[in-house]
Structure 1
């Protein structure tokens, strides 16, 4: 009975932990793709939290960004929804922010994720937004 319960627990946890990863079509060239630079600001808010937020592109996991990290992803041109989900027990939980944008081939886009505004009130949410290259380089 003990092994049956342990087996069920492992099965349930592994089923909950599987998420579909984003992968670019191998037949698309770099000039025919839009480049998305995802980055998380370097702030002390949640910097010691072992659970990192999940970044999604149309319900496919792009990355788990710790404080100050970045990830570059190439996508086919088109309309996508970018979202962030806060983890609960190291698994994707509730969506904290999202936006939809049409990405154009050959363009660079800088997607900023920031938790620092969470300190300025009980009802503020995280910030996920498109920013400039200067903000990306300065991690602002």
Structure 2
């Protein structure tokens, strides 16, 4: 019975990973008719050794995930788009830690910054730890280039 419960939990976990809708770019879009969203994660060392990476969504469809100092670019049509980030839970998207809307224009580049910063220390009995706060929003090209 115990093995059945473990197997059932594993199947649920794997099927949950497969149900996340993926963002799809249209290969017919020309460079002049799209906006470029450059997602990046800062080089801050807090949380850098965590093997799980946060997941980024464009219009509630997963566009990618980022490790410390990494980037990826998504092309979108002009207009208003909803961007969000979900913190990882067992290598799958977990709770949403940031969301905002952005109005984009064709042929322009937008820089989307994510950082996980230490924000406090907690103690529980004889154990202590550090917890962080995610920050998600727009940035400028210089910050993108320096991963700040």
User: What band does the TM-score fall into relative to the shorter chain?
Assistant: 0.7 to 0.9
Task: Please give the alpha-carbon distance, in whole angstroms, between the structure 1 residues aligned to 2:120 and 2:5.
Answer: 45
Contact 2:88 2:94 in 1 (8 A): yes
Gaps of 5+ in 2: 123-130
**How far off is 1:125 after superposition?**
3.4
What is the aligned-residue RMSD (CA, Å)? Answer: 2.3
With the length of structure 1 as denominator, give the TM-score of the two structures: 0.88
> After TM superposition, where is structure 1 displaced by more than 6 Å over at least 4 residues in a row?
1-4, 121-124
Task: Please give the alpha-carbon distance, in whole angstroms, between the structure 2 residues aligned to 1:36 and 1:115.
Answer: 20
Equivalent position of 1:47 in the other structure: 48
Equivalent position of 2:71 in the other structure: 70
Equivalent position of 1:127 in the other structure: 135
Gaps of 5+ in 1: none
Normalized per residue, the structure richer in strand is 2
Q: How many residues align?
A: 139
With the length of structure 2 as denominator, give the TM-score of the two structures: 0.83
Please give the secondary structure, in 2, of the residue aligned with 1:94.
strand
Contact 1:112 1:130 in 2 (8 A): yes
Contact 2:119 2:133 in 1 (8 A): no
1:106 is the counterpart of 2:114: no
Note the alpha carbon deviations across 1:16-73, whole angstroms, 9 max, x for none: 1121111112221111000011000001111010111111111111111000000011
Counting only pairs closer than 5 Å after superposition, residues 81-92 of structure 1 correspond to structure 2 as 81-92=82-93
Task: Please give the alpha-carbon distance, in whole angstroms, between the structure 1 residues aligned to 2:102 and 2:71.
Answer: 20
Task: Quickly say closer, same or farther: Cα 1:100–1:5, change in 2 above 3 A.
Answer: same
